[in-house]
Amino acid sequence: MPKDHTSLISDLEEKLKECSSSHDIANIKSQYLGKSGIITNKFGSLKDAALDERKELGRSLNILKTQIQNLIAAKLIEIQDVKNDNKVDITLPGKNISTGSKHPVSITINGITSILAKYGFTSVSGVEVEDEFHNFEALNIPETHPARDMHDTFYVSDDKLLRTHTSSVQIRSMLSNKAPLKIMTPGKVYRCDSDPTHSPMFHQIEGLYIDKNVNFCHLKGVLISFITEFFGKDMEIRFRPSYFPFTEPSAELDIKFKGKWLEVLGCGMVHPNVLSNVKIDTKKYSGFAFGLGIERLAMLKYDIVDLRMFYENDISFLSQFKGLK
């Protein structure tokens, strides 16, 4: 390209930068391409060139003309785009936003079961209306046992009750599947109890592992890993002896939370009487069990202080859990 063409182009580019309206561009267009425009004049002076140069000159003039036309057209589009109504205000509200969410209890159950599933536990469910055998007797809780005071039971009839724990599902599972067994039982449970820290209905999950050579160290292994994974960080954890009729030794697991020890779950080695009740050979098999309250864990994890929030089902409360599975 001849030198004067190059400078012509850069000159035009400079001028176009200054343009802010289609009117400005029209002026420039006529300056270059109008009847007496720079390019038009150049074509006009072609006839003055030597015959042998004329062809080459014409060709490069045509290229120059196309370049100028393109530059002007591009600038025009740019200016029109800015001006045009086509510009989208992307800050306006999005359409048909859905605020669906899972209930924090479900989210917590899912969180727990997906961790325990990795440790080999299979999820099992069962009936909520139970009998005394599966809810109490098989679990080594005889009628006269003071431990029944810990379970204020709702009765539906003389012999039917609302299960006070999901241990009844463990009993049914052991009776039908025998050992070895590695199950978890999430679900609703009921106790005749109602105050700001107790609800007549709440959710529990229990775990049960029966196999050869299962001992207390295995129980601790599962629970420490579980708590760490559930809260997503190393927690200060302690085990302390406790009492449940269906485990021996029995323990409770506390975590240090905001400087205070909080009880999170009960656990222990399955009581030999329980294994005998479901016809599992205690000479061959042993096992551990643990159980925890879902709402309590959800309260700790999400900083919920009032248990009643879970069952009021206020959309403003529920919607806060969107995005969690």
Partner 1 sequence: MKISLNWLKEYIPNIKKNDIFIEELTSLGLEVSSEVKVKKDTVIDIDMTPNRADCLSIIGIARDLSAIYKNKIAYPKAIKFLKLKHSNILAIDKKISSSYSALIIKNIDNSLKTPFFIKNRLDMCGLKTINFVVDVLNYVMLENGQPMHAFDHDKFNGNIKVRFAKNNEKMTALDGQNYTLMKDIPVIADDKKPQAIAGVIGSEESSVTDKTKNIIIESAYFTPNLIRRSSKHFRLQTDASYRFERGVDPLINKYAIGRVLAILTEHTSIEDFSFNHLSAPKVAKHINRSILVKPNLFESSLGIKISDKFILQTLSYLGFNPKKSKKGFSVTIPSHRFDIGIAQDLVEEVARVYGYNNFKPILATNSLNNIKDSTNQFDGYSDLLVARGYNEIISFSFIPKGDQSNHVPKTKIASLVNPISEDKAELRGSMINSILNTCAYNFSRKNNNLRIFESGKTYIKHRDKSIIEENILAGAISGINSESNLKNEQVKLSFFDIKGDLLSILPDVSFEVNADIKYIRKACQAVIKQNNKIIGYCGEPEKSLYSQYSIKNQIFYFELMIDKITPISSLKYKKISIFPKIRRDLTILIDDELIASDIIDAVQRKSFNYMITSKISDIFYNKSNLDIGNKSMTIEFVFQDKSSTLRDDQVNDEMEKIVLLLKNKFKAIVRS
Query: Which residue lies nearer to partner 1 by CB, 46 or 156?
Result: 156
Query: Rounded to 10 degrees, what is the CA torsion of 230, 231, 233, 238?
Result: -90
Q: Name the residue with tokens 């009643």.
A: 308
Nearer to partner 1 among residue 186 and residue 293 (C-beta): 186
Out of 50, 241, 259, 303, the residue judged to bind partner 1 by CB under 8 A:
241
Contact 261, 254 (CB under 8 A): yes
d(CA 5, CA 27): 20
**Which segment (26-34, 75-83, 296-304, 316-324) binds partner 1 by CB under 8 A?**
316-324
The b-or-e profile of 205-240 (16+ CB within 10 A means b, else e) is bbbbbbeeebeeebbbebbeebbebbeeeeeebebe
Q: How far is the CB of 132 from partner 1 (least distance, A)?
A: 13
* Site size toward partner 1, by CB under 8 A: 92
What is the rounded distance in angstroms from the CA atom of residue 299 to the CA atom of residue 297? 5
Here's the x/- map for partner 1, 265-304, by CB under 8 A: it reads as: ----x-xxx------------x------------------
> How do beta strands 237-241 and 160-162 pair?
unpaired
Instruction: State which residue, 224 or 304, has the beta carbon closest to partner 1.
Output: 224
Q: Which of 84, 86, 91, 313 binds partner 1 (CB under 8 A)?
A: 313
Site for partner 1 in 134-163 (CB under 8 A): 144, 146-147, 149-150, 154-158, 160, 162
- Using the rule CB under 8 A, is 231 a contact of partner 1? no
Please enumerate in sequence order all residues whose Cβ is within 8 A of that of 168, keeping only pairs 6 or more positions apart, or say none.
Answer: 126, 127, 130, 134, 135, 139
CB of 23 or CB of 260, closer to partner 1: 260
Interface positions, 51-110, toward partner 1 (CB under 8 A): 92-103, 105-106
